[in-house]
Structure 1
Amino acid sequence: MFSHIMVGANDMQASKAFYDAILGAMGYDAGVFDDRGRCFYFTDSGIFAITPPIDGKPASHGNGATIGFAAKDPAQADAWHAAGVANGGVSCEDAPGVRESGLGKLYLAYLRDPSGNKVCALHRMV
């Protein structure tokens, strides 16, 4: 469904360190910068990117927005969360764990990145 997702970043080096850590915990390669100062993470299923805002204003998080990354199991979600906290992220929502919903049991871990964007690692429990 999606070709890419891009979020704004105020400090590209801090944001790259954060995303290199959390995405590295999921087995993805470090991001690469283009000639415009944007950082891209390429996968077989799509692209995630961080960028300084084009309009020159400070990046701000989307209130109500969450970017979700698929975790292969709860251990990977926990490693993702720990890597994020150790690299400038802030834990938010409830502690990582199982949540029951109309969608079934989900293992969720939430963080705010260095620019305030909310990201989540999600594993669907079977």
Structure 2
Amino acid sequence: MFSHVMIGTNDLTRSKAFYDEIMLVLGYNKGVIDPKGRCMYATASGVLGLTKPIDGEAASIGNGMTVGFISCSPEIINEWHRIGLAHGGTAIEDPPGVRGKAPRQLYLAYLRDPDGNKICATHFIPNE
């Protein structure tokens, strides 16, 4: 559905260090700085970009916004959450765990990145 998601940052170096670590846990490569000074995580299914706002103003969090990443297991989500905390993320909401009721259950973990953006790792639990 989406071609890309751009996340604003006030400190590209700090954000790249954080996202490099959590994206590696999910099986993606470290970000690459493009000619415009943005950090890009390109995959076959889309691109995550980190950028200073093009209007020159400070980056701020999107109230009500969450960027969610798909994971293939709860164990990977737990590691994603641990690595995120170790690299400047902040735990928010409930601890990693199952949310929802059968037949639609998810295993989720939420963090705020170093700029305060809300991110989530999600594993869709198969129906039995």
TM-score (norm 2): 0.95
SS at match of 1:100: strand
- Percent identity, aligned pairs only? 54
**Segments of 4+ in structure 1 off by > 3 A?**
none
How far the C-alpha of 1:102 sits from its partner, in A, is 7.8
Deviation per CA, 1:75-111, whole angstroms, max 9, x where unpaired? 0111111111111110111100001158711100000
Distance in 1 separating the partners of 2:103 and 2:11? 36
Q: Could you list the runs of 5+ residues in structure 1 that have no partner in the other structure?
A: none
Tell me the residue number matched to 1:19: 19
1:45 to 1:111, Cα distance in 2 relative to 1, 3 A? same
1:14 to 1:103, Cα distance in 2 relative to 1, 3 A? farther
1:51 to 1:103, Cα distance in 2 relative to 1, 3 A? farther
Deviation per CA, 1:12-59, whole angstroms, max 9, x where unpaired? 011001100110001100000012210000111000000000011110
Give the aligned residue type for 1:17: A
SS at match of 1:19: helix
Q: Could you list the runs of 5+ residues in structure 2 that have no partner in the other structure?
A: none
Corresponding residue pairs, total: 126
Give the aligned residue type for 1:29: N
TM-score (norm 1): 0.96
Tell me the residue number matched to 1:3: 3
